[in-house]
Amino acid sequence: MEPQEIAEKIKERFPDEVIDITSFRDQVSVIARKERIVDICRYLYDDPHLHFDFLVDLCGVDYLDKKVPRFEVVYHLYSIKYRHRIRLKAQVPEDNLRIDTVTSVWAGANWHERECFDMYGIVFRGHPDMRRILMPEDWEGYPLRKDYPVTGPEKEWPGFQEVLDKAKAFREFEWKE
């Protein structure tokens, strides 16, 4: 099935949920509201003519000062049987960073969602194990947000002077037979 047809089909089924359909170089994105995202995913998985059984990728995007709502969660879906693709995007506003998990549809979404939480702070409701994954557990801030600084503060590591002193002491050490 052509991507445009699939997008129309989703719009037909969920007229209130789909906000927009965009297309670039034969790749079609369906932008949807986040409230019924699991229903949409379940429909895409179960429909015999669509059968999107393969979640290729799930990631977040931060559109700081570019778009409102600020965040988007992007689902790349593929059907192994019919070999068609679609991109689904759910809008997540900054004041309510919550969206339902799709781990019940695709088990592979588990770590992708954890990474999305780790990098953007988007919480997936109903996720079996919502923890940070790549960053340390006590890390502050969400690194892939656009307002997260690329370089750190100009602060010296507290142990640095100690290392320098030790190195100096070792240099002055006199080796004896």
Partner 1 sequence: MEGINRNQPPSDIRIAPELHTREITLNMGPQHPATHGVLRLVLELDGETIVKCTPYVGYLHRGTEKLGENRTYLSALPLTDRLDYVSSMNNNIGYVVAVERLLGIGPPERAKFIRTMVAEMGRISNHLLWLGTHALDVGAITPFLYVFRERERIMDLFEGLCGARLTVSYPRIGGVRNDVSQKFLDDLYAFTEEFPGRVDEYETLLTVNRIWLKRTKGVGVIPAEDAINWGLTGPTLRGSGVRYDIRKFAPYDAYDKVEFEIPIGYNGDVYDRYMVRIIEMRQANRIIRQCIEKLPKGPITIDSPFTFPPKGSLSRKDKERFNKDYYSRHFTLAKGGPKEAPQGEIYVATEVPKGELGFYFISDGTGRPYRMRIRSPSFVHTSALPRLCEGGLVADVIANIGSIDIVLGECDR
Contact residues: partner 1, CB under 8 A: 24-25, 27, 29, 53-57, 59, 61-62, 66, 74, 76, 80, 83, 85, 87, 106-112, 115, 119, 132-136, 143-144, 148, 150
Name which of 35 and 148 has its Cβ closer to partner 1: 148
* Least distance (Å) between residue 58 CB and partner 1: 9
Measured distance CA(54)–CA(118) in Å, rounded: 23
Name which of 27 and 161 has its Cβ closer to partner 1: 27
Name which of 70 and 87 has its Cβ closer to partner 1: 87
* Least distance (Å) between residue 74 CB and partner 1: 7
DSSP code, position 61: E
Print burial letters for 48-70: b (CB count within 10 Å at least 16), e (below 16).
eebebbebeebbbbbeeeeeeeb
* Least distance (Å) between residue 125 CB and partner 1: 20
How many CB atoms neighbour CB 101 within 10 A? 18
H or E element that contains 86: strand 85-92
* Least distance (Å) between residue 169 CB and partner 1: 30
Judged by phi (left if over 0) then psi (alpha if -120 to 50, else beta), residue 84 lies in beta
Name which of 56 and 97 has its Cβ closer to partner 1: 56
> Starting at the edge strand that comes first in sequence, how are the strands of the sheet with 18-24 ordered?
18-24, 27-32, 85-92, 71-78, 54-62
Name which of 26 and 174 has its Cβ closer to partner 1: 26
Largest CA distance in the chain: 89
Cα dihedral sign for 43, 46, 48, 49? positive
* Least distance (Å) between residue 71 CB and partner 1: 12
